[in-house]
Amino acid sequence: MPETASPATRQTLRLGVAGPVGTGKSSLIATLCRELAGELAMAVVTNDIYTDEDARFLRSAGVLDAERIRAVETGACPHTAIRDDITANLDAVEDLEEEFAPLDLVLVESGGDNLTATFSPALIDAQIFCLDVAGGGDVARKGGPGIGRADLLVVNKSDLAPHVGVDVDLMVADAEKAREGRPVLALSRHDAASVARLCAWVREILAAHRGGDHVPQDPGPMAPHSHGPDDHGHGHGHALHAH
């Protein structure tokens, strides 16, 4: 029964993907698998309200060997499974890391939840929070721990913006304002340049993790608090070049 290796000694990056239902988390993960599985040894853990829908989607997408995709039941509490009681997810992550060692990247997809659901740093090393333009242009402005302090905020389905009356640039600008310099990425899987930026960010955070330059951050469950001039608690922004 080996203890899980601490982030400092573990080569594998555990990357969480959280965000509301329907914003494209599974699609984002499928995109990452499609783009990166050739260069990185990867595995995926999915959490679903109804078990294995997301795992099946990923398996049917054919972007990763089916046995590298595990579904975890959350007892109808997806937020609990990534934050308050991470046991089932941690077990699945450790099993995958052991069975397919050495892995470079394990992606953990949260079951879609509300804007306050974020991963515990005890489960993942870094996290992406995923919104989409179809959820409304004002969501980024509403804020919340994931929007404000996840390692990367993705504004997904940017290609749909004209059809849902959303100004992507404005939505990204709102998000950047709420994130105090942390990166924001407007993403569409049909926009190769945006996909390339996403992959570049993942490579960068993997390198930072391995170099000991990345410390897992807890976005926290609380509403954003005000930051004084001496606040240096979040000084970990990994540069992401434009959108």
Partner 1 sequence: MGEGTGELGALLLADARLPTGGHAHSATLEAALAAGLPGERIPDYLSARLRTVARTEAAAAVLALRAGLDEPVDYTTVQAALAARTPSHALREASAALGRGLARLARRVRGDHPAVVGLSTAAQAVPGLRPMRPVVIGALGAALGMTEAQAARAVLYDDVQTVTAAALKLHPGDPLTTAQWLLDAAPDIEASVRAAVATEGPDDLPARSAPLIDQWAGEHTYATRRLFVA
Instruction: Detail the residues annotated as belonging to a binding site for GTP.
Output: 19-26
Q: What residue ranges in 49-171 does DSSP mark as E strands?
A: 69-73, 105-109, 126-132, 152-156
C-alpha distances (whole Å) from 243 to each of 35, 68, 142 are: 19, 32, 21
Our finding on whether 73 is near partner 1 (CB under 8 A) is yes
57 in contact with partner 1 (CB under 8 A): no
For the bound state, the minimum distance from the C-beta of residue 25 to partner 1, rounded and expressed in Å, comes to 19
CB closer to partner 1 out of 16 and 143: 16
What is the nearest approach in angstroms of partner 1 to the Cβ of residue 135?
25
Closer CB to partner 1, 39 or 67, in the complex: 67
Q: Quick check: 147 binds partner 1 (CB under 8 A)?
A: no
Contact call for residues 185 and 158 (beta carbons, < 8 A):
no
Strands (E), the chain: 13-18, 42-48, 69-73, 105-109, 126-132, 152-156, 184-186
Query: By CB under 8 A, is residue 10 in contact with partner 1?
Result: no
Nearest-approach distance from CB 51 to partner 1, in angstroms: 5
Intra-chain end-to-end CA distance of the chain, in Å: 45
In the complex, the smallest distance separating the C-beta of residue 229 from partner 1, rounded to whole angstroms, is: 37
Instruction: Find the binder of partner 1 among 72, 106, 172, 187 (CB under 8 A).
Output: 72
Q: Which tokens go with 211?
A: 């170099």
DSSP state of 2: P
Which residues participate in the annotated binding site? 19-26
Say how many residues touch partner 1, by CB under 8 A: 22
- Spatial neighbors of 137 by CB under 8 A, at least 6 apart, are 165, 166, 167, 170, 171, 174
Choose between 85 and 218: whose C-beta lies nearer to partner 1.
85
User: What gap in Å lies between CA 57 and CA 150, rounded to an integer?
Assistant: 25
Q: Does 91 bind partner 1 (CB under 8 A)?
A: yes
Which range of residues in 24-32, 50-58, 126-134, 164-172 is near partner 1 by CB under 8 A? 50-58
Question: Is residue 80 a contact point for partner 1 (CB under 8 A)?
Answer: yes
CB of 53 to partner 1, least distance (A): 8
Whether omega before 162 lies within 30 degrees of 0, making that bond cis, reads no
Question: Rounded CA gap, 156 and 24, in Å?
Answer: 7
Instruction: Find the part of the chain contacting partner 1 (CB under 8 A) among 16-24, 82-90, 125-133, 202-210.
Output: 82-90
Q: Which residues bind partner 1 (CB under 8 A)?
A: 1, 3, 49-53, 72-77, 80-81, 84-88, 90-91
